[in-house]
Structure 1
Amino acid sequence: LIVARKSSPLVIGVGEDETFIASDATPIVGYTDQVIYLKDNEIGVIRRGEPVQVLSLFNNEPSTINIQKLKLSLAQLEKGGYDTFMLKEIFEQPSTLRDCLRGRIVDNCRRVTLSGVDLNQERFKSAERITLVACGTSWHAALIGKRLIQDFCKMPVEVEYASEFRYGNPVLNEKDIVISISQSGETADTLAAIELAKAKGAFVYGICNVVGASIPRTTDSGTYIHVGPEIGVASTKAFTGQVTVLTLLALSVGQLRGAIDDATLHEVLSALDKIPETIEEALKVDTEVKKLSRIFSYAHNFLYLGRGYNYPTALEGALKLKEISYIHAEGYPAAEMKHGPIALIDHDMPSVIIAPSDSLYDKIISNVQQVKSRGGAVVAIVSKGNKAMNDIADFCIEIPEVPECLTPLVASIPLQLLAYYIAVNKGKDVDQPRNLAKSVTVE
């Protein structure tokens, strides 16, 4: 059997008297924990009773074979008593974020240690600009990352869709840092963006979930999010893992560049250190959201609104609903609603408005009133204890109060649950929605 890799991922599983070929290690975990990840332009030759050969496509010479031991287990790939993988992964988030944070907040919540940053301090100190590239849910995490880096590092940040970045002739040099974000580490457009950035001299930093995937092996440095395998196509725990790592990255680089004061750093790190427990608290709205979802399963359109850090959260909430329920949903910056989408609002178009008690709360109250005055139903995501919103919105879902920069982590929980239960009510396959793949390895 002869296999070759070009762009799309390929893994060879080495068992006892048997060999497996797959695009990902997940399906072969039950048979072997020894794998070989082929690089681009490599050929694998498998003969019965003989060791695997790996050759270079260019000169037909043998390549170095690096057999890696998988850290996955069958238990991680089973539903564990939940009806679906997606629901399991939503409820895993407290434990997965503990794994993501483990060993990274040190000195009694006064310092971050990320090896990818610590080993490249001069690169981050001298950087003049950071560009984040990603696709889908990872792009929404990147938008949150942009605000985090701007706030804590005081440097210019851009966010690009990887598919647009690679064809946009970006202006980059050795003073640029490009951060690529991908759950699978195999996203074709993101890999192409990395190659382009490296060719232009930029330092490329990867944020990825899958150990040994293409993006960690292609980038100059990076950080794993360590949230375990995500089976459901609609990303949940990988999104919160990415936002958590971007928060750590922004705080680490901000401290390195002297752009963040010690008091702010300690406040945010203390809250971030407790975020697994905070999300456990946020998940208690499960029964409430499940009941609420029955009311809105009829809808054909949804509008999701947020401001500041929670504009990307609104985009992510809308994407989750689209992906698994097939209801058209649009995420928008709340103030931009007046520039077009407000024309769509009527009794049949509900709005989900993210309104935690932050610096923009008074502004978003105005947006809620504008939707209500046009007959639209409003589901508001509010901070715990906020009873005033009950007088305006039709439904309120309370979330624990956290520093403003961490609200996307907490606000995303009820949005994930709302999308999930609406899709279940409509009888949809939430784990494998139509036309979608977990890892987009083609253009």
Structure 2
Amino acid sequence: MCGIFGYLGEKNAVPLVLEGLSELEYRGYDSAGIATLIEGRLFVEKAVGPVSQLCSAVSSDIHSQAAIGHTRWATHGEPSRFNAHPHVDMDASCALVHNGIIENFQKLKEELEEQGVVFSSDTDTEVIVQLFARRYKETRDLIQSFSWTLKRLQGSFACALMHQDHPEVLLCAAHESPLILGLGEDEVFISSDIHAFLKYSGCTQTLASGELAVLRIGKSIETYNFELARIQKEVRCIDHTEDSLDKKGFDYYMLKEIYEQPEVFERILHLTCEENSFTESFLKGFSLDEIQSLHIVACGSSYHAGYLAKYVIESIASIPVYVEIASEFRYRQPYIAEHSLAILISQSGETADTLAALNEFRKLSKARVLGICNVRESALASRVDHCLFIEAGLEVGVASTKAFTAQLLLLILLGLRLANHRQVIAQEDLAQAIQGLKDLPNLTRLFLDSSIHDWRCRQIEETSFIFLGRRFMYPICMEAALKLKEIAYVEANAYPAGEMKHGPIALIREGTPVIVYCGDRSVYTKTIGAIMEVKARKAYVIALAPESNRDIAAVSDEQIYIPDSHDLAAPILFTIAGQIMAYTMALQRGTEVDRPRNLAKSVTVE
């Protein structure tokens, strides 16, 4: 991991690739590198740190028609210059960049070492280029050697390769890892992410798993499977605008994306709801008949969204919902009933474990599969039976904000749609719920314009925080704790409020910060009981409660008030409070808000 970018065409490739790598930095990075050809010889430059370090190291005088580059997020080998991509063969005749994990790299490496190959890095990636180079020396056939190499690999990968014997050619391939081609006039872009080249081309081809492409200057793209059978691919031209890499006056992308949430909610509601019901287009062509259970599978924040969906859908649609972490689901051989609906959630649509879970669903049952993601060109969107798009736009901050709340809103709407289809919700209740959600954009604006931004954590020196919530608030506490871990580097754990006496209360000492979400009216008094338990042990309690529950001040040390709302809208508003709290604490602690250490935006490896 983490980002591939390449260019072949009439323009100067080097500045275009450096620019593309900069656009991919939001996905995560610890080092970066670029390869190109100068007077027929391979030139490679690498740097540890952000792409700006690489830009400083590359001469502005270099002019070339072809280049490949990479931003790395370490999986095999520590972050260093010699582990950064591109990697080259022993003769420095070819260079390769790669995303993914080669599971049989150790066996291949030993095989190559026995043949006299000397490795210069600790990565699995170098095995690919060394293996290719050995085959090419034997056959002198560029495409056949590439195909042969790909078939030797086990694992997930997307890669791009260039060879000094063929300066007018780039090769690329994908297997269970994303790679997108952008087509311009006499030029082609290669990227892990469509946003990196959209300003230059809106015409794309996505390489499916098990496909390779041959790119030549001034010629059409040749696409093959790994057995070199030719594949005809359609070019998809999308109506695009340059997306939101402009911070628009905000100090951080995360804060900008927090403030974009009302517009995201409005887009979703416009596409899904009309007066007191649903638009005809919402889930059009996807049958909800005979569904007897739901299986939701996701990772990270998306898992928390799925967890809230379980609470909501079971309560309003009277149907059992099972929620699992994708990396666990794919290995435990679960039982999937015949009339199940599988829901897979991934912001990027490329999360490796979630896609692997999709494969397991296909093997285990004939369950219908619904995807929820943010990227129309993603692998998830192309493989499920139907996909709901969260309409969040590009999210640059590594810690998810607007994408997460968009997932929540869409899942709540899905629950209402399912309840209505099953005729288990009164039309009056449905109308009130839809209106409550329609109020959400303005309530969010009201909250964002409130004094919440004046809040500062008085316990900022503490190293451990506890979050408590019941019912709808518990999954929201899980997400809030994750946000604090991600960007403030603080140990934070979320518990159902009723579980404190079963173990976690042993962690309470004088001054322990406990953040309690009191946003579920049906269990409000029970949540107050949990506050009293921790206050008796001298915890420092920060209570989040609706405006109408200002009595909470009598039992807590600090209060954050959230606008009153419909029960189904409350989890989203309380989520936004947690986002701002985490953002503020990250600023107080001086951490990197948009690009926290060790994290990548899109996790495309297991």
Band the TM-score falls in, shorter-chain normalisation: over 0.9
- Which residue does 2:241 correspond to in 1? 73
Residues 357 and 166 from structure 1, CA distance in 2 versus in 1: closer, same or farther, beyond 3 angstroms? Answer: closer
- Which residue does 1:118 correspond to in 2? 284
Structure 1 residue 15 displacement after superposition? 2.1
Superposed CA offset, 1:110-160 (max 9, x none): x12374633123xx2201111000000000000111112112221111001
SS at match of 2:560: strand
Superposed CA offset, 1:340-378 (max 9, x none): 111111234201100026010000001111111111111
Gapped runs of 5+ residues in structure 1? none
1:201-212 matches, cutoff 5 A: 201-212=366-377
Distance in 1 (CA, whole Å) between partners of 2:421 and 2:300 is 30
Residues 216 and 38 from structure 1, CA distance in 2 versus in 1: closer, same or farther, beyond 3 angstroms? Answer: same
The answer (yes or no) to whether the contact 2:508–2:537 under 8 Å persists in 1 is yes
- Which residue does 1:181 correspond to in 2? 345
- Which residue does 2:420 correspond to in 1? 255
1:336 and 2:499 are equivalent in the alignment: yes
- One-letter amino acid of the counterpart of residue 67, structure 1: V
1:367-386 matches, cutoff 5 A: 367-386=530-549
- Which residue does 1:141 correspond to in 2? 305
1:44 equivalent among 213, 238, 255: 213
Residues 26 and 348 from structure 1, CA distance in 2 versus in 1: closer, same or farther, beyond 3 angstroms? Answer: farther
2:273 equivalent among 92, 105, 126: 105
Taking structure 2 as the reference length, what is the TM-score of the superposition?
0.70
The answer (yes or no) to whether the contact 2:513–2:542 under 8 Å persists in 1 is yes
Structure 1 residue 98 displacement after superposition? 0.8
1:303 and 2:466 are equivalent in the alignment: yes
Distance in 2 (CA, whole Å) between partners of 1:244 and 1:328 is 28
- Which residue does 1:220 correspond to in 2? 385
Distance in 1 (CA, whole Å) between partners of 2:601 and 2:583 is 17
1:349 equivalent among 512, 515, 521: 512
Structure 1 residue 405 displacement after superposition? 2.5
- Which residue does 1:130 correspond to in 2? 294
Distance in 2 (CA, whole Å) between partners of 1:389 and 1:424 is 27
Residues 262 and 240 from structure 1, CA distance in 2 versus in 1: closer, same or farther, beyond 3 angstroms? Answer: same
Residues 65 and 12 from structure 1, CA distance in 2 versus in 1: closer, same or farther, beyond 3 angstroms? Answer: same
- One-letter amino acid of the counterpart of residue 25, structure 1: I
Distance in 2 (CA, whole Å) between partners of 1:314 and 1:96 is 22
Distance in 2 (CA, whole Å) between partners of 1:96 and 1:408 is 16
2:193 equivalent among 24, 38, 41: 24
- Which residue does 2:179 correspond to in 1? 10
Residues 414 and 134 from structure 1, CA distance in 2 versus in 1: closer, same or farther, beyond 3 angstroms? Answer: same
- Which residue does 1:428 correspond to in 2? 591
Distance in 2 (CA, whole Å) between partners of 1:9 and 1:169 is 26
Structure 1 residue 40 displacement after superposition? 0.4
- One-letter amino acid of the counterpart of residue 549, structure 2: N
Distance in 1 (CA, whole Å) between partners of 2:239 and 2:387 is 19
1:278 and 2:443 are equivalent in the alignment: yes
Structure 1 residue 250 displacement after superposition? 0.8
The answer (yes or no) to whether the contact 1:290–1:421 under 8 Å persists in 2 is no
Distance in 2 (CA, whole Å) between partners of 1:78 and 1:289 is 22
Structure 1 residue 72 displacement after superposition? 4.8
Distance in 2 (CA, whole Å) between partners of 1:413 and 1:136 is 17
- Which residue does 1:86 correspond to in 2? 254
For the pair shown, the structure with the greater C-alpha radius of gyration is 2
Superposed CA offset, 1:169-207 (max 9, x none): 011243111000110000000001111112221111001
SS at match of 1:117: coil
Superposed CA offset, 1:283-309 (max 9, x none): 134x4344323x232120000111000
Distance in 2 (CA, whole Å) between partners of 1:425 and 1:28 is 36
Distance in 2 (CA, whole Å) between partners of 1:195 and 1:400 is 42
2:455 equivalent among 271, 291, 298: 291
- Which residue does 1:246 correspond to in 2? 411
- One-letter amino acid of the counterpart of residue 85, structure 1: Y
Distance in 2 (CA, whole Å) between partners of 1:237 and 1:17 is 37
- Which residue does 1:34 correspond to in 2? 203
1:156 equivalent among 320, 328, 334: 320
Gapped runs of 5+ residues in structure 2? 1-169
Structure 1 residue 325 displacement after superposition? 0.7
SS at match of 1:271: helix
- Which residue does 2:128 correspond to in 1? none
- Which residue does 1:417 correspond to in 2? 580
Total equivalences in the alignment = 436
- One-letter amino acid of the counterpart of residue 215, structure 2: I
The answer (yes or no) to whether the contact 1:29–1:72 under 8 Å persists in 2 is yes
The answer (yes or no) to whether the contact 1:290–1:417 under 8 Å persists in 2 is no
1:268 and 2:433 are equivalent in the alignment: yes
SS at match of 1:397: strand
Residues 174 and 57 from structure 1, CA distance in 2 versus in 1: closer, same or farther, beyond 3 angstroms? Answer: farther
- One-letter amino acid of the counterpart of residue 187, structure 1: T
- Which residue does 1:191 correspond to in 2? 355
Distance in 2 (CA, whole Å) between partners of 1:71 and 1:346 is 57
1:399 equivalent among 559, 562, 569: 562
Aligned CA-pair RMSD: 1.5
SS at match of 2:338: coil
1:165 equivalent among 312, 320, 329: 329
Residues 70 and 420 from structure 1, CA distance in 2 versus in 1: closer, same or farther, beyond 3 angstroms? Answer: farther
Structure 1 residue 210 displacement after superposition? 0.9
Distance in 2 (CA, whole Å) between partners of 1:257 and 1:288 is 40
- Which residue does 1:62 correspond to in 2? 230
Structure 1 residue 44 displacement after superposition? 1.3
The answer (yes or no) to whether the contact 1:116–1:222 under 8 Å persists in 2 is no
The answer (yes or no) to whether the contact 1:357–1:383 under 8 Å persists in 2 is no
SS at match of 1:423: helix
- One-letter amino acid of the counterpart of residue 65, structure 1: K
Residues 288 and 279 from structure 1, CA distance in 2 versus in 1: closer, same or farther, beyond 3 angstroms? Answer: closer
- What percent of counterpart residues are identical? 38
SS at match of 2:456: helix
The answer (yes or no) to whether the contact 2:308–2:475 under 8 Å persists in 1 is yes
